[in-house]
Amino acid sequence: MTNKDKILEKLRKLMNLKESALSLGNEGEAFAAAAGITRLLIAYNLSETDIPTQERIENPVVAEEIPFKPEISSGIWYQSLIGVVCKYNMCRPLVVSTRKDNGRMSRDKFQIVGRKKNVEVVLYLVSFLSNRFYQIGKKEYPSYRHDCLFKFGRRPQSIAMYLRSYLCGCVSGLNDKFRSEEQQLKQECDITALTLSTRTEIDYFLKDEKIGKPHKSSQNVDDISAANGYETGRNVEINKGIYAESIGEDRRLMK
């Protein structure tokens, strides 16, 4: 069996794993397989044209919408989270604005554009990470209050204000985590061709759309809260959260 045959065999196993998980309603395992397929294509600089026709992954460029604001905590952290997750999963986030009764345009949705399996991973990651960061932040708030009062001699912020800064820190740490992993991947293999190919496909998909420039937002961030959040984002166990029990199988397939 040639090296390419071995790679295609791994792809077949991952594709079968994904379909099996979807049929059983196991979203975590299905997204683990989808992410595994992406990593394998990147690692070996493959595209669908390298896979036999009967085994090609049906993976067109699509657009999916999600709410513009999160339900858990307001602030620019959510927009930043979507931007970071899209950047490292070869997708593009767009803001959808609608005209209200008063005639003004209002931003009310994000549109995530990319190849289907990448978009699926982005939507899952945004949902998982936003809730994960929020829950960890709430648990760490009492410790933050204690440190402010007895270690730093500062008045602690309210939990709402604390979480806004904490979540910004989480996104910053996550960005550094992804960047470090990407740099390591670039040292191991060539991902330029696949990245450029995906970017071209997204551009073609959006060729008739009018896309405005995003509005820049700023927010005052408490340094202690953000520093705590940074450590959470930098060290979050994404694999355990998303892949659950399937991560072991995914790693075996990648060997």
Tens digit of pLDDT for each residue in 152-170?
A: 888 889 999 999 999 999 9
Higher pLDDT: 225 or 5? It is 225
pLDDT digits (tens, 9 = 90+) for 66-100: 888 888 887 889 999 999 999 888 899 998 777 77
pTM: 0.69
Give the per-residue pLDDT at 192: 61
Rounded average pLDDT over 186-196 = 60
Which DSSP state fits 207?
A: T
Contact call for residues 165 and 24 (beta carbons, < 8 A): no
Which neighbouring-strand residues pair with 65?
Answer: 111
- DSSP code, position 51: S
Encode pLDDT of 192-236 as tens digits: 655 666 777 788 778 777 666 656 666 788 899 999 999 999 998
Cβ-based neighbours of 162, under 8 Å, separated by 6 or more: 137, 141, 144, 156, 222, 225
CA dist 18 and 11 (Å) reads 10
Checking if the pLDDT of 63 tops 50, the result is yes
What does the pLDDT read at residue 253? Answer: 33
Helix (H, G, I), strand (E, B) or coil at 66: strand
Distance CA 21, CA 127 (A): 19
Find out whether 226 and 169 touch, Cβ atoms under 8 Å: yes
Residue 151 has pLDDT above 50, yes or no: yes
Residue 172 in contact with residue 226, Cβ under 8 Å?
yes
Domain segments of the chain: what residues? 3-254
pLDDT at res. 49? 58
